[in-house]
Amino acid sequence: MLEAYSQTLTHWLLVGAAVILLMLITYALLQALKARRATAVGYALVLPWVLGFVIWQVYPVLYSLYLAFTSYDVLTPPKWVGLANFKTMFLDDPRFWPSVRLTLLYSFLSVPLGMIGALGTATLLAQDVKAVGFWRTLYYVPSILPAAATALLWRFMFAGSGLLNSILSPFLKLFNIAPPSWFADEKLVLPSFLIMSFWGVFGSNTIILLASLKNVPKELSEAAQVDGASPWTRFIRITVPMISPSLFYVMIMGIISAMQNFTAPLFITTPGGAGTFLNVYIYQQGFTQFKMGYGAALGWFLMVLILLLTAVVWKFSAAYVYYEGEVRKEG
Amino acid sequence: MNGSIRLMSALLLVLSLGLTACSGKSEPAKTNEPVTTPAPKEKVKIRLATWAGADEAKELQGVIDKINAKSTSFEIVSEPAPADYYTKLQTMIAGNTAPDLMWLGAEYVAPYAGKGALLSISDRLAKDTRSAAKLDDYFQPVLQSAQLEGKTYGLPWIAQPVIVYYNKALFKAANLPEPTDDWTWDQFRDMAKKLTNKSKGVYGTTFNGWPPVHMFVWQAGGEVISPDLKSSPIDSPEALKALEFYGNIIYNDEVAAPRNVVNEQGFGEMFKAGKIAMFFGGASDDLDRVPNLEVGHVRVPKGPKDRTTFAWTASTAINAKTKHPQEAYDALVDLTDGIQHWKVLAPRKSLATKAELIKAEPRKEKAADVIVKAAEDMRAFRIVPKHQEWDTIFWEQLQDPLYSGKGKAADLAKAARAKLEAVLK
């Protein structure tokens, strides 16, 4: 057994020795440049992480930027084509704009709805009820299930005679409506994925908002109550502003995650006319169509789009995010 | 500081020793010792990539072990990758770590060969007298799937002609005679209609893009890609006849399972559950091994011209950058012969007999006659180097809208043809 793995083990040990050597060289170099000892030690110790970051993050990202301007089928070397991929993307690809539309619509709808759901759940879990620890654990469980298994489960639930249609059947029969085909109906693909996205309500978003709710000083609410404020007013005027930084964080992360939706759409076949989520489309172009260059261009477009959306949300955050201790100028 | 220098020196020493150890073996020093009999040449390791799952990989290993025991020049090492096989293979080719031999479905040989990823074996085959290397013995329409521009890039090891599996009990219940080999498209459709009972959730047949519409186009006398690979005459009268026939069956609940039912109950699963009367399946499918399901076998119905049937095929090919081309080639031929004696159906005329079929797969005895007859009329897709792009257009611009009722066959075919032929240029 050792014989079979001895070469691999040797390589690992050599890599380890090389990294340690580089750390020592870094330390010695900084010392020679009269840097403080603590600084030299610090840089030497972060060097392994920096190496990993540069090799496996920075280099692939920069290489993908280069590939975005090439025609690359993976099997032969990349060929420079300039802006041809972007021209195809914006002007000639009939699947591109429907994919952008589906991805953006999904993000614009699922994120606010998810935030409202997460906030509602967190508010309920913040109450002093019996066995609240059990309920908090139970509501967190969905987030630790594997995404692929979850997608298959939802596929079953949305089947023609699946769980969802069974629950809705009395209502459907009453109004003589045929059971919806959900994922098989072009018009219902987006609503189906939106319903599925509520699964993400439970999990880390709820926990983050719950922690935030617990940190809202009770005195503020009590003072408002004394002044005659209703529960709804206290919630809107006190609780929400106080947890607004967490809501802002949940929104940013929600947008990034929704725009990158991949696992569920990959496992659930939908009619072609409904469009494809952008991340899935990138995968299809790069790995099944031998168009890695075009896939890279699509990937960069998605990244820029997410950056733009995040920047817009960030720019206007001052209007709705309140940081404790912040001093606002009078209008 | 001194401690650091000592440590650095020690590490440099370790590294240099390690690099020396990892380098190639050095030549032995020449001596004046008398010449002795040279040690037997070490067998070259030939890596083989397959998509075999656990059970199939175990059976394949049995085939490989016999070959390795006989060979003096190579040893085949199997590397199964049942998940994301082609993604892994492409990544390995891009990273120059691809294996020497690889299984490729028919749709991948021409694209890979067109991009220079495969080694041509035409010259070696011409001088080889082993039975698996005799190209005349192969069914030519299947062998073509491993060829491009007159050169051979692989050897097919399986051909799966499509036949029709039918549920005998459903035919009895509907008081219908069982189909016979001389049945036609119209008789098939008529039977499917009579066998459909929506209230019981039973349908005459089921299509979902499978069986491939190409088969019906061929049966009507048309072509999806011309023999010279330069045109896609899918708007010819013959092709349109086939497209209309197919379009009138797929998801039409008068004769076939509707789309939502197929999505929810599964395609082949519906036949196994006794909900489908007639199912187009490959020769080695396990549709006739379901307990309590009495299944009959018949050739595909005859079209206006003939009863050509589609055969999926796969080949083993050699990585163009293999470091051991001769050993890889020898392993390829021996391996292909071994697999052809294991799988059903072997794509060679000498092995596509009832006796050989039953020897390879005794469970297919009842279907053997039908499969052997179907093999005489089988053909594989014509694959072009840009197959994936062509196929995407063929599905998205023609098949998907046709099957979803979003256009007429004539209009869709005419529009799609221009785009398809742009890819063929």
Longest dimension (CA), chain B: 98
Place of tokens 């491939």: B212
CATH superfamily, domain at A88-319: MetI-like (1.10.3720.10)
Is residue B174 over pLDDT 70? yes
pLDDT band at B25 (very low <50, low <70, confident <90, very high): very low
**Closest to A9 measured CA to CA, from B18, B303, B408, B401:** B18
Residue A325 zone, left/alpha/beta (φ > 0; ψ -120 to 50; rest): left
CB contact under 8 A, B12 and A21: yes
CB contact under 8 A, A20 and B111: no
Provide, as residue numbers in chain A, all residues whose Cβ is less than 8 Å from the Cβ of B22.
7, 10-11, 14
**Closest to B149 measured CA to CA, from B122, B172, B186:** B122
- Mean pLDDT in residue range A236-260: 91
* Among A160, A183, A273, beta carbon nearest to B261: A160
**Closest to B165 measured CA to CA, from B250, B280, B274:** B280
pLDDT band at B7 (very low <50, low <70, confident <90, very high): low
Is residue B327 over pLDDT 60? yes
- Domains of chain B plus CATH, in order, are 44-160+312-379 (3.40.190.10), 161-310+385-424 (3.40.190.10)
Q: What is the CA radius of gyration of chain A?
A: 26
Number of helical (H) and strand (E) elements in chain A, helices listed first: 17, 2
Provide, as residue numbers in chain B, all residues whose Cβ is less than 8 Å from the Cβ of A160.
260-261, 263-264
pLDDT at A138: 82
Is residue B29 over pLDDT 50? no
**Closest to B338 measured CA to CA, from B43, B88, B50, B40:** B50
pLDDT at A222: 85
Q: What percent of chain A has pLDDT over 90?
A: 42
pLDDT band at B28 (very low <50, low <70, confident <90, very high): very low
Assess B116–A contact: CB distance below 8 Å, yes or no.
yes
Provide, as residue numbers in chain A, all residues whose Cβ is less than 8 Å from the Cβ of B7.
24
Average pLDDT, chain B: 91
Question: How far is the C-alpha of B421 from the C-alpha of B224, rounded, in Å?
Answer: 11
- Mean pLDDT in residue range B298-316: 96
- Mean pLDDT in residue range B33-51: 75
Rounded to 5°, angle at Cα A140 from A136 and A145: 155
Domain regions of chain A by residue span: 2-67, 88-319
Is residue B258 over pLDDT 50? yes
Query: pLDDT tens, B113-148?
Result: 999 999 999 999 999 999 999 999 999 999 999 999
Q: Which of A257-271, B2-16, B338-352 has the lowest mean pLDDT?
A: B2-16
Please say whether the beta carbons of A258 and A251 come within 8 A. no
Query: pLDDT tens, A300-315?
Result: 999 999 999 999 998 8
Place of tokens 């401690």: B3
Query: pLDDT tens, B275-290?
Result: 999 999 999 999 999 9
- Mean pLDDT in residue range A212-228: 86
Is residue B31 over pLDDT 50? no
Provide, as residue numbers in chain B, all residues whose Cβ is less than 8 Å from the Cβ of A291.
389
Q: Which residues pair with B197 in a beta bridge?
A: B202
CB contact under 8 A, B93 and A75: yes
Measured between CA atoms, the residue of chain A closest to residue B1 is: A28
Question: How far is the C-alpha of A116 from the C-alpha of A205, rounded, in Å?
Answer: 11
Measured between CA atoms, the residue of chain B closest to residue A286 is: B87
| Count of Cβ atoms closer than 10 Å to residue B202 Cβ | 19
Query: pLDDT tens, A114-173?
Result: 899 899 888 888 887 778 788 878 878 877 888 888 888 888 888 777 888 888 888 888
CB contact under 8 A, B263 and A160: yes
Q: What percent of chain B has pLDDT over 90?
A: 82
Task: Provide the whole-model pTM.
Answer: 0.80
